[in-house]
Every structure is written in C-alpha cells, then in structure tokens.
Amino acid sequence: MRYSKQRELVMQTVENLCDHPTAEEIYDTAAKECPGLSLGTVYRNLNSLVEAGRVRRVSIPGQADRFDHTLAWHSHLYCTVCGGVTDAEVDEKQVTKLVRGQKGRVQDCAVVFIGVCESCCAAQKAASEA
C-alpha cells in the first residue's frame, strides 16, 4: 500500500477515536485537521485500509458500518439505546467449535450482539429507582 497523508490521517483518526466510529464520524474529526478532506476520500481510504488488513470493518444490520483498529478477533455489542458499539466478551473456544462444524471453509466470523450496553442498563436502572 502506497503512503498517503490522507490515508494516514484516516488511520490515526480510527485509532484515536477508539469507539468503533462510522465513516462520517471519522470524516468530522479528520476534516478539522485537513479541511480539504472529502467524505468520499475517507470512504476510499477506509476501504483500502480494510483490504490491507490495517482496519477491521464492523457491520451491523440496518446501521452504518463501523471501523475498528483492533485487528485480533473479537466480538461487539451494538446498543439500541445509545447507538454505541463496544467490545463484547465471547468464549472464543465455543465460536471456534461452531466454525469448525460448518461445511465448506469459513474465512472469517463476526459476532455482533444487538441489545443494551452496560452504561445504558445502569442508567435505565437508576431512572427506574428514582
């Protein structure tokens, strides 16, 4: 992959945001540092970074893709209350067992839970107790 100042800026922004940002969130942050940056350039560079294995795409049905700088296999939770995406704890051995049981060849596996994050659960509990 050839060096590009804009690509490096996109990569640094993904790393700095640390919260599974959307392309639009990456653009909003990166454009402050590089005013000439376009949303299309952000999308192209994100796709290049995903293809190069430097960024992981987190797809959530019905939502904008998110981008993650943590490349090691892990799962995510999409919160239907706040819209945030957080890392989720999953027993990797159980997932490996499921993958091995599939016919054909599995190339990747993504586990995305859809529910309510820990922070929103706590806020809902506090609100119901008040």
Write b or e for each residue in 77-107: b if 16 or more Cβ atoms lie within 10 A of its Cβ, otherwise e.
bbbeeeeebbeeeeeeeeeeeeeeeeeeeee
Express each pLDDT in 62-115 by its tens digit: 999 999 999 988 999 999 999 999 999 999 889 889 898 899 998 888 899 999
d(CA 125, CA 99): 37
pLDDT for 1 beyond 70: no
Burial class (CB in 10 A: 0-12, 13-18, 19+), 2: exposed
Q: Domain residues for 92?
A: 73-130
**For the chain, what is the domain count?**
2
85 and 119 both lie in a single domain? yes
Position 28 confidence tier, pLDDT thresholds 50, 70, 90: very high
Express each pLDDT in 46-65 by its tens digit: 999 999 999 999 999 999 99
- Can you give the pTM of this predicted structure? 0.86
Rounded to 5 degrees, what angle do the CA atoms 93, 62, 91 make?
10
Give the sign of the dihedral formed by CA 24, CA 25, CA 27, CA 31.
Answer: positive
Express each pLDDT in 8-23 by its tens digit: 999 999 999 989 999 9
Supply the pLDDT for residue 73: 86
67 and 103 both lie in a single domain? no
Give the end of a domain, one of 26, 43, 71: 71
d(CA 74, CA 57): 12
Are 67 and 47 a contacting pair, CB within 8 Å? Answer: no
Residue 45 parent element (H or E): helix 39-51
What CATH number does the domain containing 24 carry? 1.10.10.10
The two counts, helices (H) then strands (E), for the chain are 5, 5
Give the end of a domain, one of 71, 90, 106: 71
45 and 100 both lie in a single domain? no
63 and 85 both lie in a single domain? no
Give the end of a domain, one of 21, 46, 71: 71
Q: How large a percentage of the chain has pLDDT more than 90?
A: 81
> In angstroms, what CA-CA distances link 93 with 71, 74, 90, 97, 107?
18, 12, 9, 6, 17
